[in-house]
Chain A
Amino acid sequence: MVEVLSGPTGRGSYSGALLEVENLQVEFHTRQGVAKAVNGVTYSVNPGETLAVLGESGSGKSVTAQTIMGILDMPPGRVAGGAIRFRGVDILKLPEEQRRRIRGEGISMVFQDALSALNPVFPVGWQIAEMFRIHRGSSRSDAKKKAVELMDRVRIPGARDRVNDFPHQFSGGMRQRIMIAMAIALDPEILIADEPTTALDVTVQAQIMGLLADLQRDSNMGLILITHDLGVVADVADKIAVMYGGRIVETAPVHDLYRNPAHPYTKGLLESIPRVDLKGQELYAIKGMPPNLLEMPSGCAFHPRCPYRREDCATAVPPLYPISGTRGSACHYWREVVDGSR
């Protein structure tokens, strides 16, 4: 039996990548057919590293995260293939009880909408304390004390007085802090943040991102940041994986990607960010609609919308061509994209 969380290897002594997703395939069975929501996704995260997974809704970025967490609704969802290795062990093959213990202790998750993600009928302190009571068997009072400490740590003013308040009594930003406090309560090695700032005001967004970055630095967590917002990731991410139609279309260290995208989709995304220095010019928009997962375009899923399209794009699925180091692009004509000749 493989014990993932403790045992001979012990924490931090594993030599490979902390979390590896390899060729993951997830399908949804619907009345209209099978939707391949995740179609061969591979990425990895190391301690202290931040991976940003970028993509629009339906690209498969959240489904991948839910599969890692083991909170995918099955059915209709189904893992059709691939592996998710946490500290070298494929957690998809673990019995449910062991997977449960990894949740919260090893890998934990922050959701987009903290108002609906927190249980409305329990005090926030109780919900944080529950982590200690279930995973560590702490007493009520101990757990509550730790909950207050955590609320302090995520910078909730007057934590001691607010520990018995209910989620709806907090502002959006404070609620997300509580969500984060709950997620980091047991010092997980991987934190997945699924659109953690999308529901928040811009000023609050920056605070939350800052908080996440600080917490990560303090505890050397691996952070998977899922977002559709290029602006959010620039400052905090180490590397980026761009997803489109259930596949990763580009991976790159964050600065390379911003400076010189190697996939037409990434390029389109970057060009559609409004910029002050280009005021007055028409804003670029990727033409067409996101793909329908039930009727995926043949060949490269992006080809109907792609300005670099050639004939073979509609027939041959592009692999993730290695460019240099950790860079890769799933475009047959990535050189033209990098060169900027359109």
Chain B
Amino acid sequence: MGRYTIRRLLQLIPVLLGTTFLINYMVWQLPGDPFAGRCGQRPCPDSYVSAMRAQFGLDQPILLQYWQFLKNMLSGNLGVDFNQVPVVTQLADAWPITIRLALLAVAIEAVIGISAGVLSGLKRGGFIDNVVTISTLFLLSLPVFVTGFLLQWLLGVQFQIITPTVSDEAPIMELIVPAFVLASLNMAFTARLTRTSIVENRRSDYVRTAIAKGLTNRRVVGVHLLRNSLIPVLTFLGTEVGSLMSGAIITEGIFNIHGIGGLLYRAITGQDYTIVVPIASLLVLVYLVSNLLVDLLYGVLDPRIRYE
């Protein structure tokens, strides 16, 4: 296990390098002058542009820039944005909000998705199964922003149950509906995955054995069937934590939440690339690490998996 972990960590490095390089390259090398629109209506004075270019290393070749970026990241120095505000400060404000939103979303996914999947898988072709199949189909088809605007319009404008936008501190109660929106797609996936897994395992020999042992139906389903069926579901949920954070861009936009997504979006549209690069890299890192953790978790959940 230890050796496997180390090997996986080593494999992570080229992917991380490749991805961050890609982000750096895309962001800095593609056309468009990031400093062009920074001085109001008039073009910026050359002295300002060249000073900025020098500060952010844009006058250096790409590989050197990338090297500088890596050195900075490794030393924990995320730099400043074009307005000279430290990126770390901005992250510190936004990060907790996004984490809260993402965790809440995972909780919703897990609770609703798994229960719906189990119920529909146990009674295949029954009423609940049909309801779950159809509602997941709709959730999978509705783009997140449609779900978002729809709920905002219905609950916020028509029925006025929630405030349409979230306040700056983003308390948990106000985040519930946005988290539901963020979770909607994965919730549908979770429900379906759980259902498939339950259906497959339900006819398996070990479940038959459990019944033959004279266990109560509750125990057969709740212990034997569920424990096996949830392995792929939990790994799916784990993998998705990473992508939820970046998926939050749209949800945060709709509900005006000041999290990472909103920060990133404003930075991109404002061409403030010094924020884009470290945040995007961080999101990728979170994504890759959560994938690795999930793989290791898989080994814990399923004793048959052996790492060599």
**Count the B residues whose beta carbon is within 8 Å of the partner chain — how many?**
23
| Alpha-carbon gap, A228 to B271, bound state (A) | 75
Q: Does A69 contact B (CB under 8 A)?
A: yes
Residues in A98-148 with C-beta less than 8 Å from chain B = 100-105, 108-109, 111, 113, 116-122, 130-131, 134-135
**Given A104-B214, A120-B228, also A111-B208 (CB < 8 A):** yes
| Alpha-carbon gap, A192 to B216, bound state (A) | 20
**Given A116-B206, A117-B205, also A103-B303 (CB < 8 A):** no
Contact (Cβ within 8 A) A130 B214:
no
Q: Does A73 contact B (CB under 8 A)?
A: yes
| Alpha-carbon gap, A102 to B209, bound state (A) | 14
| Alpha-carbon gap, A203 to B302, bound state (A) | 31
Contact (Cβ within 8 A) A168 B303:
yes
| Alpha-carbon gap, A203 to B275, bound state (A) | 70
Q: Digit string of B171-206 for contact with A (CB within 8 Å is 1, else 0)?
A: 000000000000000000000000000000001111
Q: Does A166 contact B (CB under 8 A)?
A: yes
| Alpha-carbon gap, A271 to B232, bound state (A) | 50
Query: Shortest Cβ distance from B208 into chain A, in angstroms?
Result: 5
Contact (Cβ within 8 A) A121 B301:
yes
Report whether over half of chain B's contact residues are helix, strand or loop; otherwise say mixed. helix
Q: Does B212 contact A (CB under 8 A)?
A: yes
Contact (Cβ within 8 A) A120 B203:
no
Contact (Cβ within 8 A) B214 A168:
no
- Kindly report which residue of chain B lies nearest to residue A123, judged by CB atoms: B303
| Alpha-carbon gap, A104 to B215, bound state (A) | 9
Looking at the complex, which one of B206, B214, B216, B219 makes contact with A118 (CB distance below 8 Å)? B206
Contact (Cβ within 8 A) A120 B213:
no
| Alpha-carbon gap, A182 to B217, bound state (A) | 18
| Alpha-carbon gap, A116 to B207, bound state (A) | 9
- Kindly report which residue of chain A lies nearest to residue B208, judged by CB atoms: A71
Interface size class of A (residues with CB under 8 A): 20 to 34
Looking at the complex, which one of A73, A104, A116, A121 makes contact with B205 (CB distance below 8 Å)? A116
Q: Does B304 contact A (CB under 8 A)?
A: yes
| Alpha-carbon gap, A15 to B266, bound state (A) | 86
**Given A119-B224, A121-B228, A134-B219, also A168-B304 (CB < 8 A):** yes
Looking at the complex, which one of B203, B217, B228, B301 makes contact with A119 (CB distance below 8 Å)? B228
Residue with the greatest number of chain A CB neighbours at <10 A, chosen from B206, B213, B219:
B213
Residue with the greatest number of chain A CB neighbours at <10 A, chosen from B203, B205, B228, B304:
B205
Q: Does B227 contact A (CB under 8 A)?
A: yes
Contacts of B203 in A (CB 8 A): 73
Looking at the complex, which one of B210, B212, B219, B304 makes contact with A120 (CB distance below 8 Å)? B304
Residues in A276-292 with C-beta less than 8 Å from chain B = none
Contact (Cβ within 8 A) A69 B212:
yes
Return 12 A-B CB contacts under 8 Å, by A number. A100-B217, A108-B213, A117-B205, A119-B206, A119-B210, A120-B304, A121-B227, A130-B213, A134-B213, A134-B214, A134-B216, A168-B303
